[in-house]
Structure 1
Amino acid sequence: MSLNKALVGALAVLCLGFVACEDDTKDYNEYNYYEDIELGELSAEAKQVRDYVMDDAIIAHRGSTFWAPEETEAAFRWARNMGADYLELDLQRTEDGFLLALHDGNLRRTSNIESVFPGSEDLPVSAFTLAELRELDAGSWFNEDEPENARSSFENQKICTLEEVLMIAQGYRIKRDSDGNPVKLNDGADWKGLYEMELDPLDNGNRPGIYAETKEPYLFGGMEDDLAEFLTEQGWNINSPGTLLEAPSGDEGKVAYTNGRFILQSFSRESIVKLETALPGIPKCMLLWLSESSGYVRPSNTLESLAEFINFSVEYNCHIAGPSIAGSPNYYDDLTEPWMNEMYHRAGMIVHAYSFDTEDQLRKYNGDYYYGGVSRFDDPDREVVGDYSYDVNENMFIDGGFTNLTDLSLEYYGRGANKTAQEVLDELGY
């Protein structure tokens, strides 16, 4: 029997108004042999680290890919003020050693590199210094790609450094001159590409953590050690209590000042092994992607390969599973089916799935259709609707998620400041 088939009644999207399609229902017990496969389990110490992570975390994927140019100051400030629990970013490194927030392997999609550095469009970030990268406009492309969300203030947004994202999480912004241009730090002939930061007068007090993805080690050798050293210097490495930032008065208990302030994530097994050495005792997420490429963690969609993935994750203290979800607009493979979630949870992991862009996805993977469409955020005591020959339980569902629409997740979770995404952008001066 193929494990790739959906559990049609229990797992499929509801037909109408979260009413089960009884004629198509298959017995979940047909799939129960997944319960018999041997799995490792996180140690008691690893579970303590897992519990640093807040429940029902809303993770702002690249800040936002929908409301602002991804992984720019505009996206991260918006996600902070919108109310995200974590700012998610992709780590890369410049030729001169600065850690950056940038997703793609080159700059063609998200900058004007073709006009600034013609002939260099396909070079990796590591081929450029930070000062060179600051010459690029990392915002105007968004206005062309997302005209319904375009704003003139997104023009000439800059690629962000990791340091800037940490500062944004702490309530800062890039300082700008009267013309709106970033103020250079130590301006001169040997300017290194750094900008001055200042307290953000438009900050609303939310203090999100950081959820950072390392890329394949062959692209950035030594990235993990560099990151550990950098986090220690910046006061974000909980392994270094002597340098750890203390919460200012009023910020006690906010995510950026807890032991869960920084979460590591990677698709790369090699990077996970190195992170466990360089940054032990920090929450780690092993990301899943269905691919035949050996560069990804799960080469095929079988029960055995999923169990092998989980056992690797347990061995290297990955506290979180990061599987893809199905549905519009990305149409990823579904690696967050209920039986899969039960396997992740049986190993002691929590589940942060990616990426939530619709209410239907939020309802599906939080299990609402088992409960007559009622969300646990609306009714913590909701009851199962329908007869099932298997136990419907919380281990079948997610514990948090990455989203490009923090505003949508906040509304579904019953949290936030009851402001629209556009209102928050307006308040921030965009």
Structure 2
Amino acid sequence: MHARAVAAITTALLGTAALLLPGSDARAGDIDGRPLVIGHRGASAYAPENTLVSIDKAARLGIPWVENDVQRTKDGELVVIHDDSLQRTTDVEKVFPGRTSWKVKDFTAAEIARLDAGSWFSHRYAGTRVPTLEQYMRRIEHNHQKLLLEIKNPQLYPGIEQQTLKLLSNEGWLDRQHLADRLIVQSFSADSLRIVHDLKPAVHTAFLGTPRISELAAYARFTDGVNPSFGSISTGYVSAVHAFKGPHGKPLNVFTWTVNDAGTAWRATRYGVDGIITNEPDVVETELQEP
């Protein structure tokens, strides 16, 4: 009874908004007005975040959309890792004990390739590596997944927007099919998203954060969505975002983060969000599929 009531409320709130994602994602849930479920850094509750095993786990769980973080090494290689420091998710202090900095930007790609990025999570994943973006994109393609790609800390990496777009192009991800419904580029930096939009207007973008309603018209000139933390939104805010059309002529989307339990997932759905970013995508997906 509760689930049916929530579904009815959700449909009323969303209307057709959930159908107005990049392209026309064919998930049955979209037809019912349920939000997309996006695996945060892969299926990061079950495998080390931002690694190939994490996106493989998401694929096995039947989750098509995953999110990641892209940064750059000292010698210009794009790598997939969340923190600008290697300390939390690798054994960098053990492998390079004499270094005075643990920043990603202060290590070469070859040095980062030596690091264990799995043991911090579980001994089961010992030997897991920090993937390059090239390796990551090839695995995403192999898994037939879709990607919410975050350009992380762009102020540390001048030109990372152009470099990321070039790599995506080289991997075949800037063709019409991929741009239609398989790729969104997001960032906490409005300036970075403006650069992406100016360089490749066909790419769908999303701003990470909660701009003031008075600012939304300006954001709608260069971004297709606003992706706020769950604690910062309400039904009114989501409705206000949906009232603006982005550069591709469709209402702005709202993907909220990071939602890891059924109750919060239903609250987000009642708010009218278009997507839920979660460490436990299977839990959220199963809950929202309840009739």
**TM-score after normalising by structure 2:** 0.83
CA deviation profile, 1:239-264 (whole Å, cap 9, x unmatched): xx6xxxx7xxxxxxxxxx56221110
Name the SS for the 1:355 alignment partner: coil
Report what 1:90 is aligned to: 69
How much has 1:101 moved relative to structure 2?
0.8
Q: Deviations over 1:275-312 (max 9, x none)?
A: 111221111111115xxxxxxxx4xxxxxx3321x122
Aligned to 2:8: none
Which structure dedicates a bigger proportion of its chain to helix?
Answer: 2
Q: Give aligned pairs, total.
A: 260
Read off the aligned partner of 2:149 and give its amino acid letter. A
State which drifts further: 108-117 or 77-86.
Answer: 77-86
1: CA distance, partners of 2:79 / 2:138 = 13
1:227 to partner: Cα distance? 1.1
What letter is aligned with 2:241?
Answer: Y
Is residue 366 from structure 1 mapped to residue 273 from structure 2 by the alignment? no
Q: Match of 1:60, as an amino acid?
A: G
Query: SS of the residue aligned with 1:158?
Result: coil
SS of 1:100's equivalent? strand
Residue 204 of structure 2 is matched in structure 1 by 283
Asked if 1:224 is matched to 2:224, the reply is: no
Indicate if the aligned counterparts of 1:217 and 1:270 stay in contact, CA closer than 8 A.
no
Equivalent residue number for residue 148 of structure 2: 211
Query: 1:66 Cα deviation (Å)?
Result: 1.4
CA contact (8 A) 2:36 2:276 kept: yes
Where 1:259 maps in the other structure, the secondary structure is helix
Gaps of 5+ in 1: 1-16, 19-47, 144-151, 172-205, 247-256, 290-297, 299-304, 326-333, 368-395, 416-430
The 1-side partners of 2:83 and 2:153 are apart by 12
Q: How big is the shift at 1:80? A: 1.6
The structure that has the greater radius of gyration is 1
Instruction: Percent identity, please.
Output: 28
Match of 2:135, SS? helix
Conserved 8 A contact 2:84-2:153: no
Alignment of 1:285-300 (within 5 A): 285-288=206-209, 298=211
- Equivalence for 2:247: none
In the TM superposition, what is the alpha-carbon distance from 1:53 to its structure 2 partner?
A: 5.8
Matched residue SS, 2:155: coil
Give the Cα–Cα distance (whole angstroms) in 2 for the partners of residues 132 and 62 of structure 1.
22
Matched, 1:164 2:135: yes
Distance 1:221 1:53, change over 3 A: farther
Q: Distance in 2 between matches of 1:228 and 1:258?
A: 12
Q: Secondary structure at the match of 2:154?
A: coil
CA distance in 1, matches of 2:100, 2:127: 18
Alignment of 1:3-402 (within 5 A): 50-52=21-23, 54=25, 55=30, 56-120=35-99, 122-143=101-122, 152-171=123-142, 207-238=144-175, 257=178, 259-288=180-209, 298=211, 305-308=212-215, 310-316=216-222, 318-325=223-230, 334-347=231-244, 348-367=251-270, 396-402=271-277
2:282 matched residue in structure 1: 407
Structure 2 CA distance for aligned equivalents of residues 346 and 49 of structure 1: 13
Q: Shift of the alpha carbon at 1:123?
A: 3.1
For residues 85-108 of structure 1, the C-alpha deviation after alignment (integer angstroms, 9 at most, x for no partner) is 212100101122221110001011
